[in-house]
Structure 1
Amino acid sequence: MTTATESPTDGAARAGRALAGLQHDRLTLDRVDRYLRGQHAGPYMPRTATREYRLLAQRCISNFLPMVVAAPSQALSVEGYHRSGAAADAPEWHSGWQANGLDARQAAVYRSAISYGHAFVVVLPDEREPGRPRVRGVSPRNMWTAYADPSSDEWPLYALELPGLPGAGGTVKGWFYDERAVYPAVADEETVTLGPGRPHGLGVCPVRRFAAQVDLEGRTLGVVDPLIPLQDRINQTVFDLLIAQTYGSFKVRTVSGMTPPLKRDPETGEPVLDGDGNPMPRPVTMDASRLLMAPDTDTRFGTLDETPLGGFIESVEMSLRHLAVVSQVPPHYLLGDMVNLSAEALAAAETTLMRMVAEFKRSFGESWESVLRLCARVAGDETGAEDLASQVQWADAESRSLSQTVDALGKARQMLDVPARALWARIPGFTDTDRASWPQMAAEEDSAARLADSLTRAAAPVGPADA
């Protein structure tokens, strides 16, 4: 299906441009994907490297990039969604969020967006239940979108989704989205063929971008790509450490001025000769349980010192600290040297990480609000679809003890006269589902307290003054 102003040829042309964009972006995104999975560029080594050298090159890969992605993504978790002026969760929270299992699936969107720079979420009506929204995340390796203004547009003009790139002579089936419908697409290396579309009735291309960082030109940047040179440097240093550890980390015993014992024929007692006619020496067995002796008076025993490894270890630690600075991840996350840190010291160490997380929350929060408003439109709720003041609620992941939080909230209640129930949402570790039952529980407790007070008064003995 095509729009009234667009011919099938126009739709195929836009899909072809999207295919070219996806092929271009995959060059960078696939590199990021390889590094996240530990498939790094190997360290430098000579062309004549032996099999043992190559084995050490495989073992030197120390992949710290997944931790750089996990640190901020694990601090991101949406736990509620409120419309403007409402205290309870909006209907689309249940029909769009909870029904699609996004409590668990939201993490994959954050990891993809933080790793690659952006990710996508698609919202469509269910084919069997048109009023029910279907929400799913899509990797940027499998989707490309076009915008009129890529830095500020909420919705794209169109989008192409392919589960993989077509190879030589092959095709890949996927989907093409625009503001009217979703079309089955078949792509080869150069063109995309669109089939009859299924109208979605949402009025926008139902693909929302989740951008970790986006500049005024619409370019997105993830946390992994800038760190690849540092990761390669760490791998090279670890490789050099393994080489020094394998070949030079132990003392070498030397002997000079001693005639080595020769291999002799057991029958004749004559020395055994090699192919060149030279006597073959007998291996000297040497370990900690043996004593070396030499019959020659000119024999001298000595040792060669081992190669110190401290410099290599310090170099690895320095590179990890550089990685921590560039990525805004606390150094103790990468070095594992956290010892007896108080809650205040831990919060101070995580300041830069929490600032980065706060930036992600602002960007991703706007994206989730767009997604949930579109879920309301799928359900036919135009009030929720047009509520631009709605907000998602993020779980508090900062390093503060519960006692500190409760103490601060208690002071806000006593000193600033903030209503107690307004502070319930600030208590960490609870979801809106948990808090929904608190008013009734509080009312029951108040009723029970009043009943107990009445019974106590009724059972109190009547004194002379009362008479």
Structure 2
Amino acid sequence: MADTSPLKLAKELLAILDRDEARLQRIDNYIHGKHDDPYMPPQADDEYKLLAKRAVSNWTPLLIGTPAQALYVDGFRAGTTEAGLPRPTTLTSPEWLHWQRSRMDARQAAVYRGALGYGHSFVLTEQTKKGVISKGLSAKRTSALYEDPANDDAPYAALTITAKPKGETPGKARMFDATYEYAVTFASLADLDSVKVASAKKRHGNSECPVTRFAASVDLEGRTVGVVEPMIPLQNRINQTIFDLLVAQTYTSHEVRYVTGMAPPMQMEMLDEAGNVTTDPALAVDSRPKLDAAGNPIPAQINHNARRFLFAEDPDVKFGSLPAGPVGSLIDSVDMSIRHLAAISQTPPHHLLGQIANLSAEALLAAETALSRKITEFQSIFGESWERVFRLAAELEGNSASADDFSGEVQWRDMESRSLAQAADALGKLADQLGIPKRGLWKRVPGVTQTEYEDWEQMAEEDDSVGQLATALVRATPETTSSVPATPDSEVIAA
């Protein structure tokens, strides 16, 4: 039987962090613009090294930000009750109250960016003094163990580092299993013999580990891959091409003028009668070229610029120029590499190249198709993770109906750029031609929030109640007839 003691689990979880530290740190470096240096000559001088720093063109934040900015949870639709009736979802529903208490409207973006960048991130759901809240955890500090990492949504153990080791001060971590939370200390990730688990433990209140994984992509081996790591070779290629372009611009993009048969003037130093170097012109009786440490004459600096002309009295001196080298091919190479990056990462080319002029609506829609499919995939994966977070929070709050609700689903805000007129026309056709209830289409109005939706429902109910009251009053009021007694003339007229 496998050893599942807390100490064994802590060592295994810290070993995972130690194993992945170098890979995740490299991804982190590329996200923040700390890229590998492009190739340069072994004897490169400071000017080459400066050009290498300026050659870094960091595209990786855009690869993360483009899909992340289209991921925004705007509501939660609960499942059905035991009687088969839908549970009401309002701003006062337990799921949405937990969402607002955790301030996830603003914090959800960090969870998505972490998952897209490193391949996965985590969310911890726990009971606090402010109530049940959830918070994001970094992949660089958190690891989890699964019996089936490809299919299980609940780990059987997870650990997150709360303080890294500093000198003699050990690092601290929190570890969770299906029932308890443990305090863990360690000297370093590589020193597993220093790992200690405190004997005191406390129940976290859930029936399973309260840490939920948000994975951008998981294969059947349980490996997670983000959007940055596969693009590092292409990012390096772009940096190398831009470095070559900068070198070409610096050294060959301008016409070079040359002169032959002319010796530059030398730096001179004054000598006194004893042949010693002096700086006093009154004592100077002779002069000689100033020598460097190797005994060679040191040329004097010439102040030459575009406003000055060089001329020579010697007829053997020749002036000429070398033509500038072309840089157009390097610019085309940069453009090609960026297009490859756009194709492989499923990012629309106009997001990277900024070329959007003279594009029809159909062309823009076709360019956005691949990105829309990728975002839909992320919404499906992350949506399942959020649903587990809601179930864990409901269990801690003692809400059994929400804790056992596996049919609820999060609602994602429609981030596609469409005009309100287009959306109104499409929704009107759905209601008129397909008979879909108009109230069921309110959620699909672009930009509508949960608060606005509930305000609309309340106003609609108030309008309905006023209308029903008016109808009831009309029906309850008897028809009135004239009380004036009939006269002979009136009888004749009536006849």
> Which of the five TM-score ranges fits, normalised by the shorter chain?
0.7 to 0.9
Report what 1:193 is aligned to: 196
CA distance in 1, matches of 2:25, 2:115: 14
State how 1:116-131 maps to structure 2 within 5 Å: 116-126=118-128, 128=129
Which residue is 1:76 aligned to? 71
For each residue in 1:396-444, what CA deviation from the matched residue of structure 2 results, as whole angstroms up to 9, or x when unmatched? 1223333222211111111111111111011111111111000232355
CA deviations over 1:236-260 (Å, ceiling 9, x no partner): 1111112122222211112235566
The structure number with the bigger radius of gyration is 2
Which range moves more in the overlay, 293-302 or 144-153? 293-302
User: Which residue is equivalent to 1:212?
Assistant: 216
Contact 1:343 1:400 in 2 (8 A): no
Amino acid at match of 2:325: T
Task: Choose from 47, 55, 58 the match for 1:60.
Answer: 55
Structure 2 residue runs without a partner (length 5+): 80-85, 271-280, 472-493
Q: 2:12 aligns with which of 17, 42, 51?
A: 17
Question: What is the rounded CA distance, in whole Å, between the counterparts of 1:374 and 1:30 in structure 2?
Answer: 31
Tell me by how many angstroms 1:309 deviates: 1.6
Matches within 5 A, 1:105-184: 105-126=107-128, 128=129, 132-163=131-162, 166=165, 171-184=170-183
Aligned runs of 1:231-250 on 2, under 5 Å? 231-250=235-254
* Matched-pair identity in %: 46
Cα deviation for residue 235 of structure 1 reads 1.3
| 1:42 alignment counterpart | 37
Residues 283-305 of structure 1: CA deviation (Å, up to 9, x unaligned) = 55443333443333444332111
The 5 Å alignment of 1:294-333 reads 294-333=312-351
- Structure 1 residue 91 displacement after superposition: 1.9
Show CA shifts across 1:278-326 (max 9, x none): 9876655443333443333444332111122212211111111111111
Which amino acid is the alignment partner of residue 423 of structure 1? L
Judge conservation of contact 1:262–1:272 (CA < 8 Å) in 2.
no
Does the aligned pair in 2 maintain the 1:272–1:280 contact within 8 Å?
no
**Cα pair distance change 1:122/1:452, threshold 3 Å:** same
The 2-side partners of 1:113 and 1:55 are apart by 34
CA contact (8 A) 2:342 2:348 kept: yes
Q: C-alpha displacement at 1:449, in angstroms?
A: 8.8
Rounded Cα–Cα distance in structure 2 between residues aligned with 1:91 and 1:437 = 15
Q: Which moved more, 1:83-92 or 1:258-267?
A: 258-267
Q: Describe the SS at the equivalent of 1:350.
A: helix
For residue 365 of structure 1, what is the aligned residue in structure 2?
A: 383
Structure 1: stretches of 5+ with no match in the other structure: 454-466
More divergent stretch after superposition (273-282 vs 160-169): 273-282
CA separation of 1:56 and 1:279: change in aligned 2, threshold 3 A:
closer
Deviates more, 1:142-151 or 1:257-266: 257-266
TM-score (norm 2): 0.82
**Residue pair 1:257, 1:300 contacting (<8 A) in 2 also:** yes
Task: Output the amino acid matched with 2:384.
Answer: E
1:270-289 equivalences under 5 Å are: 273-275=289-291, 285-289=303-307
Supply the AA of the counterpart residue of 1:30: Q
- Decide whether aligned partners of structure 1 residues 272 and 400 sit closer, same or farther in structure 2, where only a CA change above 3 A counts: farther
Choose the corresponding residue for 1:382, options 370, 375, 400: 400
Distance 1:124 1:259 in 2: 81
Task: Note closer, same or farther for the CA distance 1:167–1:285 as it changes in structure 2 (3 Å cut).
Answer: closer
Query: Which residue number in structure 1 is paired with residue 311 of structure 2?
Result: 293
**3-state SS in 2 of match to 1:392:** strand
Q: Distance in 2 between matches of 1:91 and 1:404?
A: 32
Structure 1 residue 164: Cα displacement? 5.9
Q: In structure 2, give the amino acid aligned to 1:365.
A: G
Deviation at 1:18, TM superposition (A): 1.1
Give the superposition deviation at 1:117: 0.8
Please tell me whether the aligned partners of residues 133 and 375 of structure 1 are also in contact (alpha carbons under 8 angstroms): yes
The alignment partner of 2:313 has SS state of coil
Q: 1:278 to 1:413 in 2, by over 3 A?
A: closer
**Cα deviation, residue 205, structure 1:** 0.5
Contact map agreement 1:92 1:373 (CA 8 A) in 2: no
TM-score normalised by L of structure 1: 0.87
**Match for residue 357 of structure 2?**
339
Asked if structure 1 preserves the Cα contact closer than 8 Å seen for 2:31 and 2:61, the reply is yes
- Give the Cα separation in 1 of the matches to 2:419 and 2:358: 15
Whether the 8 Å contact between 2:267 and 2:290 is mirrored in structure 1 is no
Distance 1:450 1:269 in 2: 120
Match of 1:461 in 2: none
Partner of 2:82: none
